[in-house]
Amino acid sequence: MTPKQKQRFILVSLLVVGLSTGIGLVLMALNENINLFFTPSQVVAGEVPDNQRFRIGGMVTLDSVEKLDGELTVLFKLNDSVKEVQLKYAGILPDLFREGQGIVAEGKLNEEGVFIADQVLAKHDENYMPPEVEHALKVSGGDYHNNEAKE
């Protein structure tokens, strides 16, 4: 490399390194705001904003889904395998909603600590397999995707 090229090389490297550090620091500072949802543990520990809408994400607890008669209202619990939060939602659930499935709900906590959701989104996991394989895994008790949902 000629001295001129070396100089430009250093300039370009400095640009990339400097910007990466800067952006990295900004992202670290904004970490909490970039997360899409709070976990049930964070909600129980009171780390969520008061009287504000936020999102909560976790697994639907097994055998916790309860449909109120004659209404669209559904009661269910979300857990992150440490803590659990009770949710209440009136509306149409997405296709992938089932017990053991990850979901993200948006809404507000009421005084009793029940999360009143006005939107429920299914969080699909990264596992793709044909139904026969899923069945075989379930029979053999394999914990491939933490999903023991009722069919």
Partner 1 sequence: MSVKDKVWLWFHRMASPAYFYNLAGQLLPWSIVATTTLMLIGLIGGLVFAPADYQQGDGFRIIYVHVPSAWMSMFVYMVMAVNSAIFLIWHIKLSDIVARSSAVIGASFTFLALITGSIWGKPMWGTWWVWDARLTSELLLLFLYLGYIGLRSAIDDRRVAGKAGSILALVGAINIPIIHYSVVWWNTLHQSASVSKFDNPSIELNMLIPLLSMALAFKLFYLCILLINSRSELLEQEKRSQWVKELVTSS
| Residues of the shown chain interacting with partner 1 in the complex, contacts defined by CB under 8 A | 5, 8-9, 12, 15-16, 19-20, 23, 27, 31, 34-37, 39, 57, 93-96, 104, 119-135
Cβ atoms of 89 and 108 closer than 8 Å? no
42 vs 61 by CB, closer to partner 1? 42
32 vs 70 by CB, closer to partner 1? 32
Instruction: Give the strand pairing for 84-90 and 102-109.
Output: unpaired
Q: How far is the CB of 46 from partner 1 (least distance, A)?
A: 19
Q: How far is the CB of 76 from partner 1 (least distance, A)?
A: 15
Q: What is the DSSP string of 52-79?
A: S-EEEEEEEPTT--EEPTTSSEEEEEEE
5 vs 70 by CB, closer to partner 1? 5
Q: How far is the CB of 107 from partner 1 (least distance, A)?
A: 14
How many Cβ atoms sit within 10 Å of the Cβ of residue 46?
9
65 vs 111 by CB, closer to partner 1? 65
56 vs 109 by CB, closer to partner 1? 56
Q: Which of 107, 92, 12, 96 is nearest to 57 (CA)?
A: 107
Q: How far is the CB of 3 from partner 1 (least distance, A)?
A: 12
Distance CA 80, CA 42 (A): 10
Distance CA 75, CA 134 (A): 27
Phi, psi at 132, each rounded to 5°: -65, -40
Q: How far is the CB of 92 from partner 1 (least distance, A)?
A: 8
